[in-house]
Amino acid sequence: MRMRRIILLALCTVMLIGQAVHVKAQKTDWKVGVQTWTFHNNTLMEAVEKTRQLGLGYVEAFFFQELGAPFPKETYLNYDLSDDNCALLRHELKKRGVKPIAFGVASYGTNEEWDKFFAFAHKIGAHIVTVEPELSQLDYIESLAERYDMEVAIHNHPSPCIYASAKVVKQALEGRSARMGVCADIGHWKRVGEDPLKNLQMLSGRIKVAHLKDLTEKMEDATWGTGILPVKAFIDELKRQGFDGLISIEYDDFKSDLQDIRQSIEFLEKNMPK
């Protein structure tokens, strides 16, 4: 009997340690997840499983990623997904303990398409949409954010994206509601020759999602804290701002295994607000 108790105690200890590792990156108001573009060579379900293996509970899902089993072959994440497949998607995500907190990056030419996009994002349970609309569409985007109780984060791809420069983003958001903000892609700012830290400071109070990154001299992805970017300074600036949004892990040219991302998460954990 005593031996059985010892074994049971050991098993419980292992389970508790595993749980602590799983939630460690989620202790603060910051939400830490994966932009599934990181695993764009995989299906969404495979990307979600990798996210779960990393101990994270959030994804920022990108459009047109194949869903994978148990969905029918060549079924993709898009606003034309059937009601049955939407229900199945919510079920599969809940079963894996991963929330689709954000959705994007989206860009459309018509109000009808934006309507469908917001309705779908709301249906699958997203709270934030990451977008790159035309400047003339921003009033309509803002009205949709109010209608669907969503937050909007403008993303900055390099040129020809009109939001490549943080100054354009700042001007676009002047006078707009608190629902409207920024998806700050640190790597892209560096790639277009802007200072990511100064841009974070310029957009203080508007940042809803941070695509936190580190880069090599060749502008390729690096484990956080090992490249040319001052990642700790970025984290400290977000702390100063009282950031309470999503840290979305995105590797643009990911070629490594999960251990590389784990090391980046460990770097973040050491420097996150306590």
Give the pLDDT of residue 92. 96
Tens-of-pLDDT digits for all 274 residues of the chain? 444 443 344 444 333 333 333 334 444 578 999 999 999 999 999 999 999 999 999 999 998 999 999 999 999 999 999 999 999 999 999 999 999 999 999 999 999 999 999 999 999 999 999 999 999 999 999 999 999 999 999 999 999 999 999 999 999 999 999 999 999 999 999 999 999 999 999 999 999 999 999 999 999 999 999 999 999 999 999 999 999 999 999 998 766 679 999 999 999 999 987 7
Diameter of the chain by CA atoms?
73
Residue 126: Cβ within 10 Å count? 23
Q: The tokens of 144 are what?
A: 């949709």
27-271 to CATH, choices 2.60.120.200, 3.40.449.10, 3.20.20.150, 3.40.630.90: 3.20.20.150
130: three-class secondary structure by DSSP? strand
pLDDT of residue 24: 45
Residue-level pLDDT at 63: 87
Report the alpha-carbon angle 202-211-96, nearest 5.
Answer: 145
What is the reported pLDDT for 11? 40
**Domain locations in the chain as residue ranges:** 27-271
Token output for 102: 């954000």
CA-CA distance, 207 to 62, in Å (whole number)?
A: 19
- Decide if 81 contacts 121 (C-beta within 8 A): no
User: Roughly how many angstroms between the first and final C-alpha of the chain, as a whole number?
Assistant: 42
Taking a C-beta distance cutoff of 8 angstroms, is the pair 181, 157 a contact? Answer: no
Task: Report the pLDDT value the prediction gives residue 257, as an integer from 0 to 100.
Answer: 72
Q: What is the DSSP string of 136-175?
A: GGHHHHHHHHHHHT-EEEEE-PSTTSTTSSHHHHHHHHTT
Map residue 177 onto helix, strand or coil: coil
Which residues, in sequence order, are CB contacts of 274 under 8 Å at separation 6+?
A: 27, 28
pTM here?
Answer: 0.87
For strand 214-215 and strand 221-222, is the pairing parallel, antiparallel, or unpaired?
A: antiparallel
Check residue 15 and give its pLDDT.
38
